[in-house]
Structure 1
Amino acid sequence: MWDGGAMGRGIARVGAHLLIICIGSLYLLDAGSLAFAACPERPACRGCGCKGGPGYRGPGGRCVGFKALDKVCGIPPETRCTFENARGTGENKACALGGDDTNKAS
């Protein structure tokens, strides 16, 4: 009886690798869809706060996120930063900070 020898084992090894790659690809696609579901997209706008951030522009001219707000801007944030009051400012705070209410509609 022919067992395939080295060639048969090589084909089986390639098949196993392809199967692992396919399963891994499906897992990554599913994980990507979960990431998009957690933080909703907002309509296009200009200025700090458009993507749900706090809406402050730092001294260096860049928008400041929730995590760096106290460090970069100070308390209160108007100490060193400019509030731009962009539409939708702060809507994604829980999502950006990884809070428990990331899927709640606002």
Structure 2
Amino acid sequence: MEIKLRIDGKEKKFVASFVPFTLKRKALEQEIEMNKEGANPLTNLDIKLDLMVEAFDNQFTKDELENGLNTIGSDNVFYETVGVNVLGYRPLKELKKIQFEQEKLGKLMEKEAKRNKKK
């Protein structure tokens, strides 16, 4: 997996080819905490940042991540890095394709139901 950050005005690419399995447990534990009712969004952000730094084996600091990651699309970066690569969730492209297919199927079913009502 890789991430691009702007550090000292220059874009730098970081690569992690190995993520220890212990990070999966940590990510799951923290996901549970982040999804609790009344969870603090700032605490959740800190959790995400810490997981990202750890996932890349501290190749950059939390401060470098926070200041060097483009906020546009940052949720996707967090999801793809921790959600997909660490927790094994489906990639966003795949989820969007499934959603599109489900919407398409739903529309077809609505048309069929309307056609059957007319009969």
How high is the TM-score relative to the length of structure 1?
Answer: 0.26
Higher helix share: 2
Structure of larger gyration radius: 1
Higher strand share: 2
